[in-house]
Amino acid sequence: MLAKARSRGQFAQAQLGCASLFPKTNPTMAEITENELSSNLRPLWLKALSAVQMNNLEYAVSLLQAVLKDAPGFLEGRKILRKCEIQIHGKADKKKSLFGMSGGGMGVMKLASQAKKDPTATLPLIEKELEKDPINDGANDLLFDTAIRMELFETAAFALETIRRHNPANVKLLHKLAEHYLSREAPTKAAEVYNDIIKQAPTDSSAIKGAKDASARASMKKARWDENTSMRDLMRDAEGNEEMEKAGRSGLTREQLEARRDKAIEKYNTDPNNLAASKELAGLYEQLEDWANAYTFFHWAHSLSNGDIALATKSAHMRDRALETELKELEAAVAADPGNTELAARLAESRTLRLAEQVGEAKARVDQNPTDPQLRYELGYALYRSGDHTAAIPHLQQATRNPHIRTKVLLLLGRTFRAKNMYDIAIKQLTDALADLHAMDGTKKEVLYEKGLIHHEMGDKAAALDAFKQIYEVDYGYRDVAQRVESSYD
């Protein structure tokens, strides 16, 4: 079947402050990837992934706990562990203190003292506490502190991101997360956290100032514009970065990749059931952007792997890319030959089938995890694109519960109600979205533009012009706002 494969400053002081609060009592740890797991841990990790795939979550948790005990820096494993625990426990048994947040009780307090002396030995015990209540504020805060002591900075961020996702009302820990991002030179992430704090506490002056300062610092970092950098330096760096980017994409020319592919095909043909050979060939097809063949071999590798989730995800992604490429090729063919009714019919049929397929896939994911707002958004978006606006609305409304995607959900809700000619409700969604936006970024411009269009369709020219003017004042070239605003003065 596959034998013919060939055809397929301030922040520095803050960082020093953290170091003094958490003196190192253990050797420095390192965060690792799946490929860096030791040979004795890898079978446990693969068994855990298989257990997750089979929805045997309790067994997966026990295996992942064992992996993390010996590989505390394996962040991907910790993330999957937490997801399993949350699915097992949900939010129903989350105990609240008098102040609206879970503290963790005597067990966490005892571990906090122990973690100062021996963070490495205490980390598995903290995970045992989190197994009982994975979104416990106190236990996740202790995980953060312990990870900082071990210099596992991404693990530390993950601990507080859990609180940000599941208990965003705990603004104290969100402030701690934002400060951590600033100390790690991640101002964009810090600004996002500060904006989440503002949603919970609109009068929090520290968060308001932090959001502005972090956004400004992110802009400076992006432009690499400071007193010590000349224009010539910037240009030289840009040229060097472009060369590095070209070299780093794969490190090989297309001819070299094709040569490797041919060798991989020979290796694969000697033993089609060799998982490593299938994965290698799939990866080479992916680098060559041969999405159809990449899907074929990732799918085959997944069937050989006893349910590897990563391979299943990669296979689905390659399939999506292959279908998207096929659609684009059909669109180009129709554009080049607009009178070809057969091609036009094929394109229409392919679009309809693809949209129906995306809706089906999104529904299946929601059925597996009906409480996940992100999955609800994806289903609502798929339904919106398919033209089933009425069915999209309840899923999008449920998706607004996630503060991290609330703005884009409200924007899509506005468009959905607009498609149903329910203009007043559409305006309400967009107004709510604007209340969450402070800086005039791309998202705010998009919301304002959509709001202006709806006002225009309603015949409210003054409100439409007001929305367009807000964009015009900061971005003259945004879509057609200049023409809309300037023509109103004629």
Greater pLDDT, 266 or 253: 266
Q: Model confidence at 29, in pLDDT bands (50, 70, 90)?
A: low
In this structure, the answer to whether residues 287 and 327 fall within a common structural domain is yes
Rounded distance, CA 411 to CA 423, Å? Answer: 13
**DSSP E strands, 81-141:** none
In this structure, the answer to whether residues 151 and 260 fall within a common structural domain is no
Q: Model confidence at 330, in pLDDT bands (50, 70, 90)?
A: confident
In this structure, the answer to whether residues 129 and 215 fall within a common structural domain is yes
| Mean pLDDT, residues 331-341 | 87
Reduced to 3 states (helix: H, G, I; strand: E, B; else coil), residue 5 is: helix
Rounded distance, CA 402 to CA 438, Å? Answer: 18
> Worst-scoring range by mean pLDDT, 21-25, 137-141, 373-377?
21-25
In this structure, the answer to whether residues 181 and 321 fall within a common structural domain is no
CB contact set of 382 (below 8 Å; sequence gap of 6+): 355, 358, 359, 361, 362
Helices (H), 7-72: 10-21, 42-53, 57-70
Amino acid at 105: G
pLDDT beyond 50 at 339:
yes
pLDDT beyond 90 at 453:
yes
- Is residue 225 within 8 A of residue 237, CB to CB? The reply is no
> Worst-scoring range by mean pLDDT, 146-150, 178-182, 240-244, 258-262?
240-244
In this structure, the answer to whether residues 282 and 198 fall within a common structural domain is no
Asked if residue 474 belongs to a domain, the reply is: no
CB contact set of 238 (below 8 Å; sequence gap of 6+): none
Asked if residue 393 belongs to a domain, the reply is: no
Q: Model confidence at 222, in pLDDT bands (50, 70, 90)?
A: low
pLDDT beyond 90 at 327:
no
Reduced to 3 states (helix: H, G, I; strand: E, B; else coil), residue 242 is: helix
Rounded distance, CA 411 to CA 390, Å? Answer: 16
pLDDT beyond 60 at 23:
no
In this structure, the answer to whether residues 121 and 24 fall within a common structural domain is yes
- Is residue 176 within 8 A of residue 140, CB to CB? The reply is no
Task: Tell which of 176, 202, 223 closes a domain.
Answer: 223
Q: What is the pLDDT of residue 321?
A: 83
Greater pLDDT, 215 or 177: 177
Torsion of CA 219, 225, 228, 232, to 10 degrees: 160
Q: What is the pLDDT of residue 265?
A: 92
Q: Model confidence at 157, in pLDDT bands (50, 70, 90)?
A: very high
Q: Name the token pair of 66.
A: 């064992």
Q: Name the token pair of 303.
A: 């069937």
Q: What is the pLDDT of residue 18?
A: 40
Q: Model confidence at 176, in pLDDT bands (50, 70, 90)?
A: very high
| Widest Cα–Cα separation across the chain | 77
Asked if residue 371 belongs to a domain, the reply is: no
pLDDT beyond 50 at 244:
no
Instruction: State the CATH number of the domain containing residue 276.
Output: 1.25.40.10
Rounded distance, CA 188 to CA 261, Å? Answer: 39
Rounded distance, CA 266 to CA 261, Å? Answer: 9
Greater pLDDT, 239 or 39: 39
pLDDT beyond 60 at 109:
yes
In this structure, the answer to whether residues 171 and 262 fall within a common structural domain is no
In this structure, the answer to whether residues 169 and 304 fall within a common structural domain is no
Mean pLDDT across the chain: 81
Task: Tell which of 336, 363, 379 closes a domain.
Answer: 336
- The H helix count followed by the E strand count for the chain is 24, 0
Greater pLDDT, 87 or 105: 87
pLDDT beyond 60 at 8:
no
391 CB-contact burial (10 Å; exposed 0-12 / middle 13-18 / buried 19+): middle
| Mean pLDDT, residues 246-263 | 72
> How many domains does the structure of the chain reveal?
2
Rounded distance, CA 255 to CA 249, Å? Answer: 14
Kindly state the helix (H) or strand (E) to which residue 314 belongs, with its residue range: helix 309-336
Asked if residue 378 belongs to a domain, the reply is: no
Asked if residue 366 belongs to a domain, the reply is: no
Task: Tell which of 336, 356, 374 closes a domain.
Answer: 336
In this structure, the answer to whether residues 110 and 219 fall within a common structural domain is yes
Q: Name the token pair of 23.
A: 């003196």
The tens digit of pLDDT for each residue in 187-213 reads 889 889 998 898 888 888 888 888 888
Asked if residue 347 belongs to a domain, the reply is: no
Please choose, from the candidates 87, 88, 48, the residue with its C-alpha nearest in 3D space to the C-alpha of residue 307.
48
Rounded distance, CA 84 to CA 432, Å? Answer: 33
Please choose, from the candidates 198, 199, 157, the residue with its C-alpha nearest in 3D space to the C-alpha of residue 178.
157
Asked if residue 42 belongs to a domain, the reply is: no
pLDDT beyond 50 at 424:
yes
Q: What is the pLDDT of residue 416?
A: 95
Q: Model confidence at 377, in pLDDT bands (50, 70, 90)?
A: very high
| Mean pLDDT, residues 46-60 | 85
In this structure, the answer to whether residues 202 and 114 fall within a common structural domain is yes
Radius of gyration over every alpha carbon of the chain, rounded to an integer in angstroms:
26
Residue 307 phi/psi, 5-degree rounding, is 85, 35
Greater pLDDT, 263 or 97: 263
Please choose, from the candidates 62, 61, 67, 65, the residue with its C-alpha nearest in 3D space to the C-alpha of residue 42.
67
Q: Name the token pair of 8.
A: 């397929």
Please choose, from the candidates 294, 326, 290, the residue with its C-alpha nearest in 3D space to the C-alpha of residue 311.
294
Domain containing 190: what range? 12-30+90-223
Rounded distance, CA 151 to CA 73, Å? Answer: 10
Q: Return the percentage of the chain with pLDDT > 90, whole number.
A: 27
Rounded distance, CA 412 to CA 51, Å? Answer: 36
pLDDT beyond 60 at 239:
no
User: In 10 A of CB 101, how many CB atoms?
Assistant: 21
Q: Model confidence at 365, in pLDDT bands (50, 70, 90)?
A: confident
pLDDT beyond 70 at 94:
no
Q: ∠298-299-304 over CA atoms, to 5°?
A: 95
In this structure, the answer to whether residues 209 and 258 fall within a common structural domain is no
Asked if residue 311 belongs to a domain, the reply is: yes
In this structure, the answer to whether residues 319 and 193 fall within a common structural domain is no
Q: What is the pLDDT of residue 90?
A: 65
Rounded distance, CA 342 to CA 334, Å? Answer: 9
Rounded distance, CA 397 to CA 5, Å? Answer: 46
